[in-house]
Structure 1
Amino acid sequence: MSTVGERIKQGRNAKGMTQKQLAKKLGVSENYINDVENGRKVVEEKFIERVGKVLGGDLAEMTTLFDNIAYEERKSSESNLKTHNLAKGNKVKETINEVWNDAFSSVLKSVGIYSYDLNKPIGKKELPVISNKIEGYAQDKVLYIKIENDDLLGFRICQGDLAFANLTSEIENNKIYLMDVNGERVIRQLKKLDSNKVLIISNKNMVRTETAHPKDVKVVAKLNRLEIQL
């Protein structure tokens, strides 16, 4: 347990406060307080000041204590760098790489490319994350589907093309879906006729249609955008 964590725990206990009560007053989670008290979180001086105000402790003493700990940690780090220069250097590089990877992961996300069975990805593409979404859809609901045949050639959807899609079970009118019908997984256009009928459309060499009840069609994903392979 860190000295700062010990001091916070002592002050909290002296006030007869639980971790949950302290966390509520500070506007943080109970887990955060637990991590601080057990030395798993490095806290900033501003946080120490807020704790001091809530617990009514000696603010100057706590701030000085914080500065001393930070100074000792810097000294220890510098000493380790001098003593284990090569090993530490490699570790620093790894840490920097992890930081950059984390930073870019909040901007770009790998989206899997799948065949129709969706069993496992056969590739991936990087797409930007905007407002925690990818092209307006939840990050865990998007994927690419590799077109396996020319069943929708009339819609300019050809074998080998990549379709950006989102997982869904809802049927919208005149949209193109990856779906299960008649024991087969296919990509088709769906058109609502009424509440009891949908028209399933393919267009390879000519337009082909069949009528089905919506309950007999299991929609898996909706195709939103096509990337043509040249």
Structure 2
Amino acid sequence: MSRIATKIKEARIKAKITEKELAKKCGLTASYIIQIESGKKVVNEKVAENILEALGEKLEFMYQEDKNEEKPVTSIEKKRKNNNKDEFYTVEPTEQWSDALANIIKKFPIYETNNNKIVGYKELPVLGKKIDGYSWDKVLFIKSPDNKMEVFRIKKDDIITIHLTSEIQNNCIYLFEINNKKMIRQLRKESNNKVIISTGVKGEDLVTTELSRIKVIGKCIKAEFELG
């Protein structure tokens, strides 16, 4: 059993909580916590830090102790010493690595804005059940359909992260549906149950509609683009 696995188990017992309770605090499964503590799963630094933080412990000294211990010289290190020059070596991920990563990395589909067609995927780490500070099951990814929101640096084919919500915060950008068509625009709610729809272009003719006519899907929180 690794030093970190032992530390996690001891800290959990000290905190007088079960594996299930600890898993809930960290956004993991009870079976995953059990496998970590038994040494069957290799836990990376970020996950270990997240677990220990939930238990009121710190990770730093664990790695410092490991550095101070004498470690066996690997065949790669021997080869480096013999060659006495810088080289790159390919490290193949083990099955334990893959299992550990599978519990914190999730695959999210990217949709076309209007037809819900999947056009790609994003693989993202999910720590504490959150992505960019939002619950992972309340996050949606879509491809921008056009350049109409270019004032806000959102261009055609950019990948937009959406936080699913029906609430409107004035002057924020939203994905919503009106007249059976989805679009991305800046919204401002008025006191008379009216909503002003804008692309942000200076001098544009603003569109005003009844709040009841639009269905807010979510708030745009980030836009990404690919170089080249």
Q: Paired residue for 2:161, among 159, 164, 177?
A: 164
Distance 2:130 2:192 in 1: 32
Distance 1:125 1:108 in 2: 10
Structure with the larger helix share: 1
Distance 1:100 1:146 in 2: 32
Matched AA of 1:148: P
Q: Paired residue for 2:118, among 121, 125, 142?
A: 121
Alpha-carbon spacing, 1:204–1:111, altered in 2? closer, same or farther (3 Å):
farther
Q: Paired residue for 2:209, among 197, 209, 212?
A: 212
CA RMSD, Structure 1 to Structure 2 (Å): 2.7
Aligned identity (percent) is: 39
Aligned match of 1:198:
195
Conserved? CA contact 1:148–1:159, under 8 Å? yes
Matches within 5 A, 1:114-193: 114-117=111-114, 119-193=116-190
Alpha-carbon spacing, 1:154–1:208, altered in 2? closer, same or farther (3 Å):
farther
Conserved? CA contact 1:202–1:208, under 8 Å? no
Alpha-carbon spacing, 1:28–1:130, altered in 2? closer, same or farther (3 Å):
closer
TM-score computed with the length of structure 2 as normaliser: 0.53
Alpha-carbon spacing, 1:176–1:109, altered in 2? closer, same or farther (3 Å):
same
Matches within 5 A, 1:1-230: 97=95, 99-117=96-114, 119-203=116-200, 207-230=204-227
Give 4+ residue runs of structure 1 displaced > 4 Å after superposition.
203-206
Matched AA of 1:217: I
Give 1:118 shift.
Answer: 6.0
Alpha-carbon spacing, 1:162–1:204, altered in 2? closer, same or farther (3 Å):
farther
Conserved? CA contact 2:114–2:181, under 8 Å? no
Conserved? CA contact 1:162–1:228, under 8 Å? yes
Alpha-carbon spacing, 1:151–1:208, altered in 2? closer, same or farther (3 Å):
farther
Q: Could you tell me which runs of 5 or more consecutive residues in structure 2 were left unpaired when the two chains were aligned.
A: 1-17, 21-33, 35-93
Distance 2:156 2:190 in 1: 29
For the residue of structure 1 that corresponds to 2:206, the secondary structure is: strand
Conserved? CA contact 1:132–1:139, under 8 Å? yes
Conserved? CA contact 2:186–2:200, under 8 Å? no
Conserved? CA contact 1:108–1:126, under 8 Å? yes
Report the number of matched residues. Answer: 139
- What CA deviation, in whole Å up to 9, does each residue of 1:173-196 have, x standing for no partner? 111111111332111110122151
Distance 1:193 1:149 in 2: 27
Give 1:205 shift.
Answer: 8.5
For the residue of structure 2 that corresponds to 1:119, the secondary structure is: coil
Q: Could you tell me which runs of 5 or more consecutive residues in structure 1 were left unpaired when the two chains were aligned.
A: 1-26, 30-42, 44-95
